[in-house]
Structure 1
């Protein structure tokens, strides 16, 4: 039985500039790369054409080609991680398992169970920071407490940043330390109950021209004005260090968007209740949300009668992507105009977004609802018509996704704006006075 180290791929599907992989390859035993399609996650997905599963599968195949070129291969499993590690322990004498940090509640539970199993077999689990620039307690207020407002956090983040924080891990120097084995067959999507989607995914190459114009153009959904790297950052097919270094050089506004990622991951770490369905500001859990399944479904399907809202939802349903300005508009509409619980929207985005990330998704929804850290005040209610005039003045975005918006068969507005605004202010004020 060979003695090996395991590198456990998770949200870091690349060989280059990968923190834990670098440490694994520098250690004294050959490294077996492993990926687990986690049944505890996949079996809960109702949509068997989920684009994210197809994206991960394609990324794994790409990794396999790179590994085969250096005489190694990735071992891919479909199962409960604990069972997979029991099988690995019967196949290898495992010395150490290396992985990069994951901050989500389920991931932390999973890690603890596997660390306990490994310990019982004389092995250890080692994890490293990789998907953010700063994490946990690395950017704190002077009194040692976590920031809950973004602007001072971002200033401290920038003051803390040194060149070495963005330096790449030179993994390629140690590729000879991968465990040498013949090609391992990669599971087919169909064998896990999923189907190919035939979708082209955004490029992982950062478009520098878009980043240079990001500050001026980022709020206009009708033009190609965002990097669309969210999906690649989510699954680690690109390095956050490389992207942040380009952002720092090309556009501070773009860099700020990456800092928001770190901020929300820090919030999830220090306030894990937000990842478990709780409002960051507990008083917002007393709001009496309306319950109207019909209105929720109209919002989901882009049939609200508000073209900018409907365009966003249709783009999401068709592509798995939604422009960030429009994400704010549709989230405000659900929580303020329809007075439906932000958790419904959070869960729908979690189902549909290619770049779904628990920390950022939760942060965005709680920001829109007013219940989060550094959130918009509850009386700030986006007017969809004004948002359209300001950010889609030529109606380019609306015409693409809601071509029938001026036709007789387009639905009337689901609720009148002024009525919705007054109702929201009244209900929120009542809850927050308690």
Structure 2
């Protein structure tokens, strides 16, 4: 009988399938499954009501499968206490890539090895090891297209098997209840999110199977249309680790249909953002193009507040921001339009948008959030060109032509027919009066004029064009 006792330290990987740390431990000895809540260590990356709500319910869901030991405190100290209490021989865990977490984990590994405790880490969150994805100069890829081409010539890591039966440590040991972590700070937020989401591994797998069966082949054609419900909505499950990106990747490649490339490309884009974060630890709060440190951002708290509340006067932007507040999620196409509006129409520093998304998104992910905002701003390595300024009216007419998405999230405009629902200020007064819409009262007039805002943005970008980039 194998007497080796192994602490499996669960973090953003509350799942049994494709969990390398759990699988390896289950093959080598007795598993001691542990989750440590250290609010101070996590505050930089998981500070929002939305993400904490998700964590709370993920833990409850996971405990239905594995009797998880939950402790609170400094991670190293808790691990050392558990090693002493259980006489554990090893600590296995899957890697995370947030900069301060990376530094913390390195210190923990060093300390454990100094105490002659085996410490092993595994890649469970990425398709490829970062070292496999350098260019011919042994540098990180700076353009997604070349990264994508490289990925086609590298074999993504296969999922590990699911350990259906394994020995779990059975001796009595102190553990706190999920409720004692006090992760649910806002009942209003909790009640809202419970209407739209069911966190946890089993729910993630069910959603994936439904998408795989019903919408995967429609994804390329319909993914940009927010009213079509054609996306997988798996992003919060991926961000929390409820589901494995490698399992999704290989399931989506079940045949060679070129139609599936569009979905797979999104998974590789996610990968690209993580590789950027690993190479550039300041990625979440510092522009990768240094000349953007001199960008003439505006300080306009009123405009920021209108953007957050979905009161900009641009229906598609407002619909997206209200969807975000209501559900903790926003359709990707609308997310790009709303982000661009903040940065380029209002000239508000992208980091303010980053922080708002961090506070509100159930799928908040450090690497993806930073990549999205730096891409829209033009401050990242591979970014949208500075002169690409999304026209929220054209975007609305193109991707929500009938206005169904807007009607759902901006109900005060629900009776306004297309095309006026995309630009209410152009609607004839008799139409507005007939459906009781008073612009500036029941729905705001645009807080900026698109054409004027576009010219102002281009002038602002001209300011930094001559500044040397590093």
Corresponding residue for residue 92 of structure 2: 98
Q: Are 2:336 and 1:336 aligned?
A: no
More divergent stretch after superposition (142-151 vs 324-333): 142-151
**TM-score normalised by L of structure 1:** 0.91
Q: Distance in 2 between matches of 1:255 and 1:193?
A: 34
Q: Are 2:316 and 1:308 aligned?
A: yes
Q: Distance in 2 between matches of 1:89 and 1:334?
A: 49
1:201 pairs with 193, 197, 202, which one? Answer: 197
Corresponding residue for residue 169 of structure 2: 179
2:387 pairs with 371, 379, 383, which one? Answer: 379
Q: Distance in 1 between matches of 2:59 and 2:232?
A: 23
Corresponding residue for residue 358 of structure 1: 366
Q: Distance in 2 between matches of 1:382 and 1:151?
A: 22
Aligned-residue offset at 1:172: 1.4
Q: Distance in 2 between matches of 1:132 and 1:256?
A: 14
Q: Distance in 2 between matches of 1:262 and 1:370?
A: 19
Q: Are 2:167 and 1:159 aligned?
A: no
Q: Residues 12 and 47 from structure 1, CA distance in 2 versus in 1: closer, same or farther, beyond 3 angstroms?
A: closer
Q: Distance in 2 between matches of 1:41 and 1:144?
A: 32
Q: Distance in 1 between matches of 2:34 and 2:392?
A: 47
Q: Distance in 1 between matches of 2:408 and 2:364?
A: 24
Per-residue displacement from partner, 1:116-158 (whole Å, max 9, x unpaired)?
3323432132111111111312122223221111111111101
Q: What does residue range 50-129 of structure 1 map to in structure 2 within 5 Å?
A: 50-67=49-66, 73-129=67-123
Q: Distance in 2 between matches of 1:224 and 1:186?
A: 39
Q: Are 2:26 and 1:25 aligned?
A: yes
What SS does the aligned partner of 1:359 have?
helix
Q: Distance in 1 between matches of 2:466 and 2:91?
A: 51
Q: Are 2:230 and 1:225 aligned?
A: yes
Corresponding residue for residue 10 of structure 1: 11
More divergent stretch after superposition (181-190 vs 97-106): 181-190
Aligned-residue offset at 1:274: 1.0
Aligned-residue offset at 1:41: 5.0
Q: Residues 16 and 145 from structure 1, CA distance in 2 versus in 1: closer, same or farther, beyond 3 angstroms?
A: same
Maintained 8 Å contact 1:220/1:325: yes
What SS does the aligned partner of 1:297 have?
helix
Q: Residues 9 and 47 from structure 1, CA distance in 2 versus in 1: closer, same or farther, beyond 3 angstroms?
A: closer
Aligned-residue offset at 1:186: 4.9
Maintained 8 Å contact 1:135/1:265: no
Maintained 8 Å contact 1:135/1:266: no
Corresponding residue for residue 267 of structure 2: 258
What SS does the aligned partner of 2:412 have?
coil
Q: Residues 359 and 191 from structure 1, CA distance in 2 versus in 1: closer, same or farther, beyond 3 angstroms?
A: closer
Q: Distance in 2 between matches of 1:42 and 1:257?
A: 27
Q: Distance in 1 between matches of 2:225 and 2:270?
A: 21
Q: CA RMSD in A?
A: 2.2
Per-residue displacement from partner, 1:96-133 (whole Å, max 9, x unpaired)?
21111111112112212322332343213211111111
Gaps of 5+ in 1: 68-72
Q: Distance in 2 between matches of 1:90 and 1:321?
A: 43
Q: Are 2:242 and 1:241 aligned?
A: no
Q: Distance in 2 between matches of 1:147 and 1:43?
A: 30
What SS does the aligned partner of 2:133 have?
coil
Q: Distance in 2 between matches of 1:40 and 1:280?
A: 27
Per-residue displacement from partner, 1:300-357 (whole Å, max 9, x unpaired)?
1111111111111110011111000011001100110000000110111111111111
Task: State how many pairs are aligned.
Answer: 421
Corresponding residue for residue 277 of structure 2: 268
Maintained 8 Å contact 1:3/1:92: no
What SS does the aligned partner of 2:131 have?
coil
Q: Distance in 2 between matches of 1:104 and 1:45?
A: 8
What SS does the aligned partner of 1:381 have?
coil
Q: Distance in 1 between matches of 2:80 and 2:136?
A: 45
Q: What does residue range 319-334 of structure 1 map to in structure 2 within 5 Å?
A: 319-334=327-342
Aligned-residue offset at 1:249: 2.8
Aligned-residue offset at 1:266: 0.7
1:424 pairs with 443, 457, 461, which one? Answer: 457
Maintained 8 Å contact 1:61/1:186: no
More divergent stretch after superposition (175-184 vs 299-308): 175-184
Q: Distance in 2 between matches of 1:313 and 1:266?
A: 29
Q: Residues 20 and 214 from structure 1, CA distance in 2 versus in 1: closer, same or farther, beyond 3 angstroms?
A: same
